[in-house]
Structure 1
Amino acid sequence: MARGGINKALVIEARDTLLNRGENPSIDAIRVELGNTGSKSTIHRYLKEIEEESSARLDDEALLSEPIKALISKLTATLRQEAHSIVESNKEQNQHREQALKARITELEGIVASQEKTLNTKEEALQEKLVELGERKSLEGRLSSELAEAKQAITEQNAIVTEKQSHIDSLEEKHRHNRDAMEHYRQSVKEQREQDQRNHEQQLHQLQAEIRALNQTLSVKQNDITGLNKDNGRLVAEISAAQKTLAELQAESRKNHAQIDAQASENNVLKNEIKKNESHISELELLRKKHKALTEWKEKSLLAQAKLEAEVAVKNELVERLLKEKSKNFGGPVGKECGSPDCEYD
């Protein structure tokens, strides 16, 4: 539970607790120790006052000698050098990682752009194929309708041919009967000629007229048979043409089905490439997240470097102020007045 407010005593208590645990008494650590209470500026002001009082107590209780000052300067220089070395090393590693990530991102973006371009091209080709397929299906439907009509026409023509053939057979049968009747009549006439010569002579003109009429009827029937034969030949030719058209339509239909199967295979290949592009895009998104995290870590490192440099600057300032205070209080460097660095403990 957060406290209602902070004061200097609470900050000193939190600072001492962190030092006893071996932790760095930073502003954020003290604020957490205080229950996330108090502004950072207030904590910083109290810490500054505490450090000034600590420096003043050190100045009153234990005067620093030249070796100690040299040691402080050396430690300060070493701390600054190590801090700069760590920061430079981290910066160099970050630069290498950032360059590698940027190169990988550029490469993946190029791959994705290429894949997207290829995908767009194939999608356009697919759309064209789909349009062509639709046209082919429409054409196939029309051809099927025409084929059905042709089959219906063939059926009707076959029926007509059958009817004509039946009529031809009937005419031939009549012609055969007429021929048989005429032969029978001639035979009868021949047999009765001697017996009925007179009657025959009387009826000769009538019989000849009937024969002429029968011949005319026979000629008409033969003309009908010839016309029927011509119609039959024409119908046979039409049936052959229709059968040829039917074979062509069936071949075109098989070809269309083969193209449809090939288009389905190409669609499956396109789907696989789309899945592969999605995996590349996922990898790119992951690398972007890693790059973002690395950028944030870099910013935090720079912030930590700036904070470390600020702390080093503050400590240098405190050391210099301490030295100035000693020089001011003792009129010169400690050790020169008594001639020995150990005289300050006498």
Structure 2
Amino acid sequence: MARAGISYTDVARAASQLVADGRSPTVDSVREALGSTGSKSTISPYLKRWKEEHQGEIAAAESGLPATLIEAVKGLHQHMQADFTLQAEALREKHVVALQEAAATERQLRAERDAIRTAHTALEEECARLRTVLLDLQQQYQNQTTTLAATRAEKDGLQHRLADRAAEVGTLEQQLNQTRAQFEYFQEATAAQRMTDRQAFEQRISRLEHELTAAQQRTASQQVLQARQEAQLGQLESRLEQAKEESKANLDQAISLRTERDRLAERLEASAVARDDALSQATMLGAQVTEARVTAAGFEREATLLAETARMAEQKVAELTQEKLEWMQERTALMQRLEANGDAAKAAS
């Protein structure tokens, strides 16, 4: 009576025992090893699962090769596969690190380039502002020069007017002297008219003296105005000198800024060279990764060749096994013929 409750463990134990005995595990042989118990529909999926997990043992049992040889080939293949995986992973990590470093270097170079461009733009704006200031100072200098020329021309005009006033005062003094001479002359000649003409002459003298005083006052005011204009002229000349010094200082600062701009341009060029070096290094690492891939492909080809060699060895063993079987059959046939010939000879005697 067939017992129920056949498990995967029972099927696996029976199949392993059959392989150890050199027999091929089938559904029938496993069922027989289990004491003819269990249904084939129950044993079949368990046996299929066991065969998937123990393909090497089944191949060894079917080919007749030593299990140690198959395990050695499998171990060598797994070892080569693991080495290839480790090398590929190391090269992949190295490539990723190199790409990250190159990306970081490129970001740093881009940041430095942007900073240099910003500084360059600021320097250009500062240079433009200084040029504007310099043009304004030049315009102020020209305006001050024009004002100074106008002031000098006005000063010359005032000096001419002062000379004219001095000549006028001289003429008035000369007229006064002539009048006094005439007065003395007429005083002796015309004693009769002395009292009559005296008032007229005194009025005229008073008027002339008043005009002389007014002329002297105008001359003094003209001298004060001239002194004031000369002071203003001195101030303008001082401001002109100060503007020249400021213009020179601004020009020196512009030269210094231009030098700084040239230095920043050199740093920008050096940064570009460093970026090209980083790109070259990244290209070299890419070539190394390509070479590693070629090496990995070589390892895969070697593994394929080893698998092909193992397959050919298995085929050769199968051929030898078949030849051995044929030889055994031929030997059995010869033994039977010898026995038949011996029996015939005995019967003939």
Superposition TM-score, scaled by structure 2 size:
0.64
Partner of 1:326: 320
| Secondary structure at the counterpart of residue 198 of structure 1 | coil
Seen in structure 2, the aligned counterparts of structure 1 residues 78 and 325 have a Cα distance that, compared at 3 Å, is closer
CA distance in 1, matches of 2:175, 2:285: 115
Q: CA deviation at 1:159?
A: 0.8
Question: Does 2:200 correspond to 1:206?
Answer: yes
CA distance in 1, matches of 2:132, 2:327: 108
Query: Larger Rg: 1 or 2?
Result: 2
CA distance in 2, matches of 1:239, 1:206: 48
Number of equivalent positions:
265
Seen in structure 2, the aligned counterparts of structure 1 residues 332 and 230 have a Cα distance that, compared at 3 Å, is farther
Partner of 1:269: 263
Partner amino acid, structure 2, of 1:129: L
Partner of 2:280: 286
Partner of 1:132: 126
Partner amino acid, structure 2, of 1:186: R
1:164–1:228: 8 Å Cα contact kept in structure 2?
Answer: yes
Partner of 2:28: none
Partner of 1:255: 249
Seen in structure 2, the aligned counterparts of structure 1 residues 102 and 244 have a Cα distance that, compared at 3 Å, is farther
Seen in structure 2, the aligned counterparts of structure 1 residues 122 and 160 have a Cα distance that, compared at 3 Å, is same
| 2:227 paired residue among 223, 233, 244 | 233
Q: CA deviation at 1:187?
A: 4.4
What are the superposed Cα offsets for residues 194-244 of structure 1, whole Å, 9 maximum, x if unpaired? Answer: 443323322112212211321232233234323423432332233223223
Partner amino acid, structure 1, of 2:159: Q
Q: Which is worse superposed, 274-283 or 228-237?
A: 228-237
Partner of 2:212: 218
Q: Which runs of 5+ in 2 are unaligned?
A: 1-63, 332-349
Seen in structure 2, the aligned counterparts of structure 1 residues 287 and 151 have a Cα distance that, compared at 3 Å, is same
Partner of 1:304: 298
| 1:146 paired residue among 136, 140, 145 | 140
CA distance in 1, matches of 2:187, 2:229: 50
What are the superposed Cα offsets for residues 39-87 of structure 1, whole Å, 9 maximum, x if unpaired? Answer: xxxxxxxxxxxxxxxxxxxxxxxxxxx9xx89xx59x958984995699
Partner of 1:36: none
Percent of matched pairs sharing the same residue? 11
| 2:163 paired residue among 158, 169, 172 | 169
What are the superposed Cα offsets for residues 269-304 of structure 1, whole Å, 9 maximum, x if unpaired? Answer: 122112211221221121121122112112222222
| Secondary structure at the counterpart of residue 197 of structure 1 | coil
1:87–1:305: 8 Å Cα contact kept in structure 2?
Answer: no
Seen in structure 2, the aligned counterparts of structure 1 residues 260 and 332 have a Cα distance that, compared at 3 Å, is farther
CA distance in 2, matches of 1:260, 1:243: 25
CA distance in 2, matches of 1:104, 1:240: 73
Partner of 2:309: 315
Seen in structure 2, the aligned counterparts of structure 1 residues 333 and 274 have a Cα distance that, compared at 3 Å, is farther
| 1:110 paired residue among 94, 104, 113 | 104
Partner amino acid, structure 2, of 1:163: G
CA distance in 1, matches of 2:137, 2:256: 22
What are the superposed Cα offsets for residues 105-158 of structure 1, whole Å, 9 maximum, x if unpaired? Answer: 544543443343233223212212211221221222122122212211211111
Partner amino acid, structure 2, of 1:182: L
CA distance in 2, matches of 1:245, 1:270: 37
Seen in structure 2, the aligned counterparts of structure 1 residues 117 and 297 have a Cα distance that, compared at 3 Å, is same
CA distance in 1, matches of 2:179, 2:323: 176
2:120–2:264: 8 Å Cα contact kept in structure 1?
Answer: no
Partner amino acid, structure 2, of 1:235: Q
Q: CA deviation at 1:168?
A: 0.6
1:94–1:294: 8 Å Cα contact kept in structure 2?
Answer: no
Partner of 1:40: none
Partner amino acid, structure 2, of 1:258: D
Superposition TM-score, scaled by structure 1 size:
0.65
CA distance in 1, matches of 2:326, 2:300: 35
2:123–2:261: 8 Å Cα contact kept in structure 1?
Answer: no
1:105–1:288: 8 Å Cα contact kept in structure 2?
Answer: yes
Q: CA deviation at 1:100?
A: 5.7
1:119–1:274: 8 Å Cα contact kept in structure 2?
Answer: yes
